[in-house]
Structures are given as C-alpha cells and as structure tokens.
Structure 1
Amino acid sequence: MTYAVKSTLPDADLKTVGEALQGELVDLVDLSLVAKQIHWNVIGPRFRSIHLQLDDVVATARSYSDTVAERASALGLPPDGRSSTVAATSAIERVAEGWQKDTDAVRTMVKALEATIGGARERMRSVGEPDPVTEDIFIQLTADLEKHHWMFQAENGS
C-alpha cells in the first residue's frame, strides 16, 4: 500500500519551505550531537555547570528537530536526519576530538549556536511569505537558541 501526504502549499512555496525545514533539521541534529560530544569531554573548574548547560541545549535541539521534521512530514516532505546527510550538509564546524577545556568548550558552543541561529534566521525570512506556520516555528526556535547563545557567551565573558 502506497500513501503520499499532500501539501496544500503550491509547489514553488513547498520547495522553499522544504529546503528550509531540511536545512534546519540537519543543523539541529548536528547541534545536539556537538553538545553531547562536548558534554562527555568537557574538563575544568566549571565542568559541572557547563556539563548541565549542555544538556539543556541537547534537549532544545532534539525537541525542535522533532518539531521541524514533523512539520516537513505534515507538508508531505520526507525529512532526512541520517548521519550521512547531517555530516555532509550541516553548517556547524567539526568539533575537536578528545578532552576540551571548559573555556574552549564554551567557545565551541558559541560558534555552533551562531551557525545554527544564522541559518534559522535566513530560513525564517525565506518561509515568512509562503508559510507563516513554518515561520512561527523558526521564530520560537531562534528565540530559544539565542537564549542558549547568551548564556554560553556569559560563561566566558565574551
């Protein structure tokens, strides 16, 4: 039995929205992986607070990745969160291997969040006209990511 979910959006709008959702899905999956990698490898006097703060980022990224993927599915677009797709298309820089000093871990997270927020803002603008429902997801996502960004910047005073 074959079943296809059909969108109410015109094809051109669906293409724009689909590309935005897929790009954001990849960045969110990668953000959660980056935060977990650092979570397991952070060392230093602020280990505990950063370790716990990273869990908050992971929870946000995982929650929104599900929201974004389900929005794509609702529009008839199959989301692609496979590791090979994430590795090939994420906007986030690769994380250093091994232990990370707390100050370096914070800098890495600031950069990862900046990349994710930058993409989300661009995508938010691109979907505003064709699909305000998806735009709303991007608005809320960006606000939550910016809060994490602020908190990590405050950790290093930069």
Structure 2
Amino acid sequence: MSTVKSPLREEARTAVGKALQASLVDLLDMALTAKQAHWNITGRNFRSLHLQLDEIVEFAREHADSVAERAVAIGVNPDGRASTIAQSTRIPQLEAGYLQDDKVIAAFTDLLGQVIHRFRERIAATEEADLVTQDLFIEITAGLEKQYWMLSVQN
C-alpha cells in the first residue's frame, strides 16, 4: 500500500486535515442541497434562481475537489462518502417537496452565511499550520460571499 508523506508537522497535518474534511462535507452537502432546491423551486423567480443554484452546485463541486486534493497532498485521506456526509453535515436541510422561491432565497442566504462563518474560522485556524490551505480557504470564502451577496439582495 502506498501512502503520501506529509510536508507538514504531525500536529499541523492533523489540524489542517480536520479543517479540510469539515470543508469537504460542507461543500459536498451544499452541492446536494442546491441541486435539491434546483429541481423543486417554484415561483416568479424560478428561472433566475434555477440557474443561480446550478452556479452554486458547480462552485461547490469544483472546490470540493480542490479541498479533497489538498488533503491528499498533505497526507490526509478525504472522506466524501454519502454516509460520512449524512453523519457529519452541519448544512441545514430543506423541507421535502416543491419550494417557493422566497423560501429558497431565505434558506440559501442562511445556509451560505453559516458556511461562510465556518470557513472564516478555518482561515484563522490554518494561519499558523498551513498557509497553502489557508489560501485555498480564502479563495473559497470569497466565492461563497459573492453567492451570498447575490442571493441576499433578492430578499
């Protein structure tokens, strides 16, 4: 069996690995939640929100891959299995069925706000341990904040 030797000290690798895993779960579940809303949205703003939700899905999937690859690069195994996401997600879940556009805007404004808060905590937590991972978290946070802004002005 082959393993990746970490360029980080053990305590830094452990701390950064936890932050990366939590970020992976946030991003994967955000993509799933946005796709669920995308399929079930109704209302006057259907078209624009339908398209914006796909942008969120694409963003989350792309950055989930970057997060997982960063984990592997520092010698940490990412875990994106459905069971892991279900057990550890902190993403608020949508109700089942059709979703009115104003409820989707409110739900995703709240969801993105919570995820941004956690990413900002991870930015602070990785400042000493790994500036490369911190830079990745800063990039992701900037994109999340753009999506947050674009949704929140629709309320």
1:30-82 alpha-carbon deviations (Å, 9 max, x no partner): 00001000000000011000000001101110010000000001111110011
CA distance in 1, matches of 2:88, 2:123: 18
Residue 118 in structure 1 maps to residue 90 in structure 2: no
RMSD of aligned Cα (Å): 0.7
Could you tell me how far 1:93 is from its partner in structure 2? 1.0
Aligned residue type for 2:22: G
Aligned residue type for 2:13: L
Aligned residue type for 1:90: T
Query: What's the counterpart of residue 152 of structure 1?
Result: 151
Which 5+ residue runs of structure 2 have no aligned equivalent? none
Could you tell me how far 1:95 is from its partner in structure 2? 1.2
User: What's the secondary structure of 1:128's corresponding residue?
Assistant: coil
**TM-score between the two structures when normalised by the length of structure 2:** 0.98
Count of residue pairs the alignment pairs up: 155
User: What's the secondary structure of 2:25's corresponding residue?
Assistant: helix
Which aligned segments of 4 or more residues in structure 1 are displaced greater than 3 angstroms?
none
Could you tell me how far 1:112 is from its partner in structure 2? 1.3
Query: What's the counterpart of residue 25 of structure 1?
Result: 24
Query: What's the counterpart of residue 104 of structure 2?
Result: 105
Which 5+ residue runs of structure 1 have no aligned equivalent? none
CA distance in 2, matches of 1:113, 1:90: 14
Percentage of matched positions with identical amino acids? 46
**TM-score between the two structures when normalised by the length of structure 1:** 0.96
